[in-house]
Amino acid sequence: MKYSSQSVAMPYFIAAIGLFVGQIIFGLAMGLQYVVGDFLFPAIPFNIARMVHTNLLIVWLLFGFMGATYFLVPEEAETELYSPKLALVMFWVFLLAGAATILGYLLVPYATLAEMTGNNILATMGREFLEQPLLTKIGIVIVALAFLFNITMTMLKGRKTVISIVLLMGLWGLAIFFLFSFYNPGNLVKDKFYWWWVVHLWVEGVWELIMAAILAFVLIKVTGVDREVIEKWLYVIITLALVTGLIGTGHHYFWIGTPAYWQWLGSVFSALEPIPFFAMTVFAFNMVNRRRREHPNKAAVLWALGTGVMAFLGAGVWGFLHTLAPVNYYTHGSQITAAHGHMAFYGAYVLVVLTMISYAMPLLRGRAANDERAQVCEMWGFWLMTISMVFITLFLTAAGILQVWLQRVSSTPMPFMAVQEQISLFYWMRLWAGVVFAAGLVTYLASFFVKGESKPLIHA
């Protein structure tokens, strides 16, 4: 750690990991509800568990992005953070608002929660992933503005690098597109149309900029490759991500009442969305192969390479599987979507945040890298989580293919629930893979507590 104000990243990282644990607990509960329908009913029905699972994911990734930014920007700008105090205040505001929202989901009926939080003044609730009460949404905007103010001011007084500019573009985009969560037109087609401006333009647009910037930062640090080389790759990756991602939004517009040309625009551009992810894979391996030093933090290098591979598989390959309109006509909203969603979020965003945490945490704790044994433990965590995620994806894909076949392609289509019965074996297998994932997460957590001699702090 070069600048003392980078230490504000620490609470953000801890909160992120804590919420990650919560997400996995709810994921396991839902995995069981898939096959034992009345598990935890009526206390936590499936729809609530799902809402908590997905909202926790988004919130902990945001914590991770913010932590990563607070660590990255001072070092890139070569100056202390504009206001570490503001960063800490916003941490607590965001954590308390997030916790209150999740408790609201769990303790109060959703309709009551909506009434209590002013949804009748401005109706924004009740839409997938944007379920947050109005007050929480306003809170998110305030936190995001304070955060962006802090980061932008830091950058203005310091060195402006391509990495930090790309990161900042991604973060501003994230904040701007979130504003569409306040727009909730009565027309269902319009509603869905703009809903994707938050959801798709986040994960298949501006988040990719954030991801590429964080990955580039860690790769510079652990490989010692020239900044110039990495910056060129960054330019190419972000241009490709934006061109394919922005118009690629069209692959959500196939069957929601939008004009037919979206089937062509969406199919062609989204079919190209794997290219930036592939570029990131090549980029990560290329940089590690050309490394100029052996960084003591081997675990961070593993996470970075894992990000490259898993993001391409999950977001790229599994996305491509069902993105063409004629295919999507059959697969829309099936378990294939769930398979893609799991591996894409894990491969791209979970792994990039964990890459940053893996690189930054030892530095924040005053050492260049963790003890050998702690790193081995951490790498076990990586492999357990990654391999079990591959299996979760494969089982869901198998379930999805069978589901599409029995329910939609067959000449004697079966009803939804009857099909669910038929594919329950795959749900059981997915659940067990989920248990292994949880074991991997516990192993990962344990790695933070493995004691040993630490590597001396070297300035990278």
Give the nearest distance from C-beta 323 to other proteins in angstroms. 12
Among 275, 368, 438, 460, binds other proteins (CB under 8 A): 275
Give the nearest distance from C-beta 236 to other proteins in angstroms. 5
Coarse DSSP helix, strand, coil percentages of the chain, rounded to the nearest 5 percent: 80, 0, 20
Residue among 176 and 268 whose Cβ is closer to other proteins: 268
Can residue 265 be called a binding residue for other proteins (CB under 8 A)?
A: yes
Cα-based distances in Å from 144 to 7, 14, 106, 134, 268 = 19, 19, 25, 15, 34
Give the nearest distance from C-beta 324 to other proteins in angstroms. 10
Q: Six-digit token pair at 396? A: 């869901």
Rounded-to-integer distance, Cα 260 and Cα 254, Å: 7
CB atoms within 10 A of CB 251: 26
Q: What part of residues 360-419 is at the interface with other proteins (CB under 8 A)?
A: none
Total residues contacting other proteins by CB under 8 A comes to: 20
Among 239, 329, 410, 458, binds other proteins (CB under 8 A): 239
Residue among 276 and 381 whose Cβ is closer to other proteins: 276
Rounded-to-integer distance, Cα 421 and Cα 431, Å: 15
Residue among 264 and 329 whose Cβ is closer to other proteins: 264
Q: What part of residues 178-237 is at the interface with other proteins (CB under 8 A)?
A: 232-233, 235-236
Give the nearest distance from C-beta 300 to other proteins in angstroms. 25
Residue among 27 and 250 whose Cβ is closer to other proteins: 250
Give the nearest distance from C-beta 319 to other proteins in angstroms. 16
Q: Which residues of 413-447 are buried (b: 16+ CB within 10 A; e: fewer)?
A: ebeeeebbebbeebbebbbebbebbbebbebbbeb
Can residue 271 be called a binding residue for other proteins (CB under 8 A)?
A: yes
Q: What is the DSSP string of 48-103?
A: HHHHHHHHHHHHHHHHHHHHHHHHHHHHHHTS--S-HHHHHHHHHHHHHHHHHHHH
Identify the H or E element spanning 285.
Answer: helix 274-289
Can residue 112 be called a binding residue for other proteins (CB under 8 A)?
A: no
Among 176, 243, 317, 438, binds other proteins (CB under 8 A): 243
Interface positions with other proteins (CB under 8 A): 232-233, 235-236, 239-240, 243-244, 259-261, 264-265, 267-269, 271-272, 275, 279
